[in-house]
């Protein structure tokens, strides 16, 4: 276990955390892990019913407090609302797990949907991070978890825009980590491989062999404060090890073959994915 680790999260970051994308998949597992560590949680996602169900679970199991905000981070005023709504809550840890994925040929893509994905995956994450990074720097401690991906490290045909948004997150996390470290703020990019999170079905992808989302939450929180990037689970590590020796163009070619087997060759379904 790292110097932060699950057992030390409360001592390191304080009594409150905020999780976006908390209604399902990876975000929900982060909320469960944080509550198990004794942190109260602000839960953010579009679906209020799922958030209220999770709230009841976390209170019953761990006795923590929960605050629910049913928001679509694709809306430009959502982060501003969160900033105001949490002004009196001493949040010390933010997990930006909300995401939006598409797949299929770029020529068949629904351009408004692609642009909305950039809004959610890049613009909203940048704005949210800025709000809380300033708050954490002022208090002298804090933690920020950003969701990268195995696809962030090369171009990925048939998921070109989605991979580009994750590439943005990876580089963004690497940069701000160095800036925020002197202020006592830890930043980590979590870059999992295939995960059973509902993402595949919603993005019209056949995920095949994958691992549960709890693997991502556990490994990421264990590495927070110790590493800048974590690749959770044996499957993600195996895939990364197989790609790492290749030049970037070689990784892109391999990912083209992988995506060809995971996405339909016709049609243009690129849907709601995990805007949780």
- Closest listed residue to residue 158, CA positions, set 240, 265, 242: 265
| Euclidean distance between CA atoms 169 and 158, whole angstroms | 19
Residue 273 lies in a domain: no
Asked if 13 contacts 92 with a C-beta cutoff of 8 angstroms, the reply is yes
Q: Which residue has the higher pLDDT, 121 or 4?
A: 121
Residue 212 lies in a domain: yes
Place of tokens 């809004």: 119
Residue 115 lies in a domain: yes
In the predicted structure, residue 274 carries a pLDDT above the cut 50:
no
Considering 6, 10, 166, 218, which one is annotated as catalytic? 166
Residue 263 has a pLDDT of: 62
Residue 253 has a pLDDT of: 78
Residue 107 lies in a domain: yes
- The structural domain count of the chain equals 1
Q: Is 162 a catalytic residue?
A: yes
Residue 161 lies in a domain: yes
Considering 13, 100, 162, 218, which one is annotated as catalytic? 162
Residue 121 is classified by DSSP as I
| Euclidean distance between CA atoms 127 and 44, whole angstroms | 15
pLDDT tens-digit map of 78-111: 999 999 999 999 999 999 999 989 989 999 999 9
Share of the chain above pLDDT 70, in %: 86
Residue 6 lies in a domain: no
- Closest listed residue to residue 66, CA positions, set 138, 2, 18, 104: 18
Residue 257 has a pLDDT of: 75
| Euclidean distance between CA atoms 217 and 98, whole angstroms | 13
> Structural domain of residue 178, as residue ranges?
13-262
Three-class secondary structure of residue 36 per DSSP: helix
Q: What is the pTM of this model?
A: 0.87
pLDDT tens-digit map of 171-210: 999 999 999 999 999 999 999 987 765 544 444 444 455 6
CATH number of the domain that residue 149 is part of: 3.40.50.720
Residue 120 lies in a domain: yes
pLDDT tens-digit map of 50-66: 999 999 999 999 999 99
pLDDT, averaged across the chain: 87
Q: Is 100 a catalytic residue?
A: no
Is residue 261 very low, low, confident or very high in pLDDT (cuts 50, 70, 90)? low
Residue 5 lies in a domain: no
- Closest listed residue to residue 129, CA positions, set 175, 192, 63: 175
Is residue 271 very low, low, confident or very high in pLDDT (cuts 50, 70, 90)? very low
């Amino acid at each position: 276990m790292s110097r932060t680790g699950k057992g030390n999260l409360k001592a390191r970051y304080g009594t409150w955390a905020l999780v976006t994308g908390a209604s399902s998949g990876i975000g929900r597992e982060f909320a469960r892990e944080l509550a198990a560590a004794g942190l109260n949680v602000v839960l953010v996602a579009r679906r209020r019913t799922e958030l209220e169900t999770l709230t009841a679970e976390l209170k019953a199991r761990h006795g923590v407090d929960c605050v629910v905000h049913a928001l679509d981070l694709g809306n430009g005023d959502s982060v501003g609302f969160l900033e105001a709504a949490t002004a009196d809550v001493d949040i010390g840890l933010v997990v930006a797990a909300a995401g939006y994925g598409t797949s299929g040929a770029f020529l068949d893509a629904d351009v408004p949907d692609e642009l909305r994905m950039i809004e959610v995956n890049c613009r909203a994450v940048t704005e949210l991070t800025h709000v809380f990074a300033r708050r954490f720097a002022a208090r002298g401690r804090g933690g920020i978890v950003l969701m990268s991906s195995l696809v962030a490290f090369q171009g990925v045909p048939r998921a070109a825009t989605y991979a580009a948004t994750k590439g943005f997150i990876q580089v963004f996390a690497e940069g701000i980590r160095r800036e925020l470290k002197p202020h006592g703020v830890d930043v980590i990019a979590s870059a999992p491989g295939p995960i059973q999170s509902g993402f595949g079905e919603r993005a019209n992808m056949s995920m095949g062999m994958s691992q549960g989302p709890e693997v991502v939450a556990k490994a990421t929180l264990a590495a927070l404060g110790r590493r800048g990037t974590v690749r959770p689970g044996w499957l993600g590590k195996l895939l990364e090890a197989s790609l790492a020796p290749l030049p970037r163009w070689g990784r892109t070619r391999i990912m083209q073959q992988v995506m060809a087997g995971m996405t339909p060759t016709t049609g243009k379904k690129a849907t709601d994915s995990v805007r949780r």
